[in-house]
């Protein structure tokens, strides 16, 4: 009998606590809820979204530049630039880009890797469009290795037989 009374008392306690928390959640205060999204007036416009290296040789220059302009009405802030792998390294401006001004993202690809290129750079900003993806493509051919032929060396005669 004591167990039944204890169980009902425990259930009643949990019920009171859960109703009290539910009531406090609607008291008009922000209890960790996300703030309402504000619309940004910054807007980024790239001159190109894809850079095609074409066919290049192994070890060639793997650098390219993506130019952009802030066509919005407030400063543009790039919060993150990240390559899709360690072989693609972007450099983004750290300072805000004022309305009407331009900037550039420099991307260096490790061209010592042979084969097709299809990598991306993710750019996050306070722009209306939010996250944008830039792409680099192309193909890297193996470098032609020229081997030096051995020079004619004078003959040292026939090998001697060991006794």
Residue 27 binned pLDDT confidence (cut-offs 50, 70, 90) = very low
pLDDT band, residue 143 (cuts 50/70/90) = confident
Provide the residue range defining the domain that includes 87. Answer: 44-141
pTM: 0.65
Whether residue 110 is contained in a domain is answered as yes
The residue ranges of DSSP E strands in the chain, in sequence order, are 44-46, 50-57, 63-70, 78-83, 88-91, 102-109, 115-125, 132-141
How many structural domains compose the chain?
1
Does some domain include residue 14?
Answer: no
133 occurs within a structural domain: yes
Is 83 domain-assigned?
Answer: yes
101 within some domain: yes
pLDDT by residue (tens digit) across 73-132?
Answer: 999 999 999 999 999 999 999 999 999 999 999 999 999 999 999 999 999 999 998 899
* CATH for 71: 2.60.40.10
Does 161 reside within a domain? Answer: no
Find tokens 């066919």 and name the residue. 55
């Amino acid at each position: 009998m004591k167990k039944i009374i204890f169980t009902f008392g425990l259930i009643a306690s949990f019920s009171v606590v859960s109703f009290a928390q539910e009531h406090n959640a609607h008291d008009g205060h922000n209890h960790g809820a996300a703030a309402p999204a504000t619309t940004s007036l910054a807007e980024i416009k790239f001159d190109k979204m894809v850079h095609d290296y074409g066919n290049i040789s192994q070890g060639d220059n793997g650098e390219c530049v993506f130019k952009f302009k802030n066509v919005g009405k407030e400063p543009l802030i790039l919060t993150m630039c990240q390559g899709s792998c360690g072989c693609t390294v972007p450099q983004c401006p750290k300072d805000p880009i004022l309305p009407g001004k331009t900037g550039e993202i420099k991307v260096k690809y490790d061209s010592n890797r042979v084969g097709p290129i299809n990598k991306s750079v993710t750019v996050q900003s306070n722009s209306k469009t939010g996250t944008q993806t830039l792409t680099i493509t192309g193909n890297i051919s193996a470098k032609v290795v020229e081997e030096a032929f051995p020079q004619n060396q004078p003959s040292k005669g026939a090998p001697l037989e060991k006794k």
